[in-house]
Amino acid sequence: MNRSVFRNSKKSKTFLTILFAVISIIYILPIVTVLINSFKANAYINTETFALPTEESYVGLDNYIKGMNYGNYPFFKAVGYSLVITIFSTALILICTSMAAWYITRVNSRFCKLVYLMCVFSMVVPFQMVMFTLAKTADSVHIPYYSFLSHSLESVGLNTPWTIPIIYLGFGAGLAVFMFAGFVKSLPVEIEEAAAIDGCGPFRTFFMVVLPMLKPTLISVGVLEIMWIWNDYLLPYLVLDRTKYMTIPILIQYQKGSYGAVDLGVTMALILLSIVPIIIFYLTCQRHIIKGVAAGAVKG
Amino acid sequence: MEQKKPKKRHSLAVNGNMLSGTIRKWFPLFLLPTVAAFAIGFVYPFIKGIYLSFCNFKTTSNAKFVGLENYIKALSDSSFMHSFWFTALFAIVSLVLINVIAFAVAYALTRGIKGSNIFRTVFFMPNLIGGIVLGYIWSMIFDGILSRYGTSILLDSTLGFWGLIILMCWQQIGYMMIIYIAGLQSVPEELIEAAKIDGANGWQTLFHVTIPCVMPSITICTFLSLTNGFKLFDQNMALNGGQPFEFLADGNVIKTTEMLALNIYNTFYQNSNSRGVGQAKAVIFFLLVAALGLIQLNATRKKEVQQ
């Protein structure tokens, strides 16, 4: 038995292929079950979880239609906020931390070393350690901006989807700076020196010479941040003003966690809608995601 | 050669200084945004959090210093100690299962079997789904199965434990598998060939050649799954939220499947009088996770030196 599995014979390979095909099907069954149950009436989900919808239990797209405004919160608003937060935060993290990591590595002053050490340190701090104080800080720190609607100077806290990227930058900076700095250290200084001799200032040196070379790390960090922020529940739940802004995980938890009549069919419909974009994203940039995860894990 | 070397080093040092000197002036653009956000999003909350763990408070403005009282209360809280042991057991069991299965899958998928790319895609997929959603998917499935036997995942803490383990395996095996595959692919072919020529069988090659070569991946994966197990929150809250509850004779309630992170969260937000205790628990939790993380960093660094 042992021999036949590990020897590179044709028979054992076919056996492994069939075995893994079966396991793969079992592996995606939970998602298929969600799909099936999103078309069933609530009453049938607990009793006939694994049965296909019958004429009695089938409700067509009712669950999806109900889900659009379940709990008096439009589902697409949550999708929009999730998108805004994920895209803005990831972009902000990539730009700011790559610049910071380059600065830290090249200047290498005492202050830079301190910042770098703090970044490494922050990677081992669990979110529960700072959750209460972070949420309070986000409420109290305000950013002034000029409003073109009222033509006056106003200010906004860090508890909105447009300002929460700053919180994500702060809490997520550790891993990103660590990964970028690791890569910058491996880049030859000579290239940047050549650019400097050719008359490039640090700004152009970074954006036209260093940043293109950072591409593999940009992808790794980007993938890790997107996976983290899109699925994050507790940070936005505590920081955002919940009466106005909900992300997809918050909305699903709010509906399922609220006491009273929970409609499982609607929950399944919303879960399916929230998984579909991730799966499409995954299948289209699969190569990058898998590479990014492998690289990120080896360094982190 | 001997003359060239110091010369080169000298010119590098001068250029390096020139470069760093001109970059230094760009501090406000390059470093300030990250440092400012880092101060708001991490440094200040962290320091304030440590300070508040020695205080009695409901909001951050009315904190009263009470010394070590919160820590004493936290360590004598039976629900906290219960969740610690529950979490430790969970972390160890999930660590073993996830790593053994992930390694076996990665090993099989690097044998060049047909369809390994598709299998890899499928196994990694659950990793992209968030913890809350995962919890609700599996609570539906478990309830669908268990309702036939007249029970529920919310009624039995043993079922709750294994439910969490199954969920965690489903989510994490793909991730660890990717790391193991990367490690296995970097094992030089010649070594395995040489072992075969020397007459080693499949198991001997695996244990004496392949596994020592992928030791770095094994260190990373074991510590990742250990810290992930300790920090688990979303899945725990969504799958069973700590149920079933057990009422003790002294009036305390133990949530039998509540893990550390959820216990801390509940101490904070279910009762605003115990926030100081919650913060003290969070500090203890941080020290625990940080110790695990530092051991990991050390171990990986040692491995890197050896390479």
Residues B149 and B214 reside in one and the same domain: yes
Contact between B34 and A99 under an 8 Å Cβ cutoff? The reply is yes
Which one, of A181, A108, A171, lies nearest residue A137 by Cα? A171
> Which of B48, B69, B90 is where one domain is finished?
B69
pLDDT tens readout for residues B200-226 = 888 888 888 888 888 888 888 888 888
In a domain? residue A265: no
**Tens-digit pLDDT profile for residues A179-210:** 899 889 888 888 888 888 888 888 888 898 88
| Residue A10 falls inside a structural domain | no
Going by pLDDT thresholds of 50, 70 and 90, the confidence category of residue A257 is low
Say if residues A61 and B155 touch (Cβ distance below 8 Å): no
**B23 CA: distance to closest CA in chain A (Å):** 6
DSSP assignment string, chain A: -HHHHHS--HHHHHHHHHHHHHHHHHHHHHHHHHHHHTTB-HHHHTTSTTSPP-TTTB-TTHHHHHHTTGGGS-HHHHHHHHHHHHHHHHHHHHHHHHHHHHHHHHH--HHHHHHHHHHHHHTT--HHHHHHHHHHHHHH-EEEEEETTTTEEEEEES-STTTHHHHHHHHHHHHHHHHHHHHHHTS-HHHHHHHHHTT--HHHIIIIIIHHHTHHHHHHHHHHHHHHHHH--HHHHHHS-TTT---HHHHHHHHHHSSS---HHHHHHHHHHHHHHHHHHHHHSHHHHHHHHHHHHHH-
Chain position carrying tokens 């290498």: A108
Q: Same domain for B165 and B76?
A: yes
How far away is chain B from the Cα of A254, in angstroms, using its nearest Cα? Answer: 11
pLDDT at B30 over 50: yes
Do B85 and B214 have their domain in common?
yes
Query: Long-range contacts: B207-210, Cβ < 8 Å, 24+?
Result: B210/B107, B210/B184
Q: Which domain holds residue B13?
A: 4-69
Q: Burial-class residue B43 by CB neighbours within 10 Å (0-12, 13-18, 19+).
A: middle
**d(CA A61, nearest CA chain B) in Å:** 19
Which chain A residue's Cα is nearest to B202?
A6
Q: Which chain B residues touch A22 with a CB distance below 8 Å? A: none
Indicate the number of domains in chain A.
1
Mean pLDDT, chain A, integer: 84
Pair type for strands B64-65 and B245-247: unpaired
Domain extent, residue A129, equals 77-258
Q: Of A224, A244, A221, A218, nearest to A164 (Cα)?
A: A244
Fill in the amino acid letter for B19: L
Nearest CA in chain B to A4: B202
For residue range B86-114, list pLDDT tens digits in order.
999 999 999 999 999 999 999 988 888 88
Q: Which residue is closest to A114 within chain B, CA to CA?
A: B35
Q: pLDDT by residue (tens digit) across B108-146? A: 888 888 888 889 889 999 988 888 999 989 988 888 888
- Quote the pLDDT of residue A82: 93
Find the CATH number of the domain harbouring B197.
Answer: 1.10.3720.10
Does the beta-carbon distance from A174 to B111 stay under 8 Å?
Answer: no
Residues B290 and B212 in one domain: yes
Q: Which of A191, A166, B245, B184 shows the shortest CA–CA distance to B262?
A: B245
Name the residue of chain A whose CA is nearest to B231's CA.
A126
Tell me if A133 and B109 make a contact (CB, 8 A cut-off): no
Is the pLDDT at A298 greater than 70? The verdict is: no
pLDDT computed for residue B110 by the predictor: 87
Tell me if the pTM is above 0.95.
Answer: no
> Which amino acid is it at A198?
D
What six digits make up the tokens of B294? 């530092």
As for how many domains chain B has, the answer is 2
Nearest by CB to residue B224, choosing from A122, A177, A297, is: A297
Give A133-166 pLDDT, tens digit per residue. 998 888 888 888 887 877 888 888 888 888 899 9
Tokens 């000197």 correspond to B21
Same domain, B150 and B188: yes
The C-alpha atoms of residue A271 and residue A263 are separated, in whole angstroms, by 12
Residues B27 and B164 in one domain: no
Partners of residue A63 in chain B, C-beta under 8 Å? none
What is the DSSP-derived secondary structure letter of residue B219?
Answer: H
- For position A166, which CATH number holds? 1.10.3720.10
Structure tokens at A11: 């028979």
Which tokens go with B38? 């880092």
For B65-89, what is the mean pLDDT?
88
Give the residue ranges of DSSP H helices in chain B.
4-24, 27-30, 32-38, 44-52, 69-75, 78-109, 116-124, 131-146, 157-185, 189-197, 202-205, 211-213, 215-231, 234-239, 260-269, 275-306
- Percent pLDDT > 90 in chain A is 21
Question: Shortest CB distance from A227 goes to which of B128, B140, B238?
Answer: B128
Mention every residue, 6+ apart, whose C-beta is less than 8 A from residue B77: B277, B281
Q: Is residue A25 part of a domain?
A: no
Calpha distance B300→B307 (Å, rounded): 11
- Residue A126, pLDDT > 60, answer yes
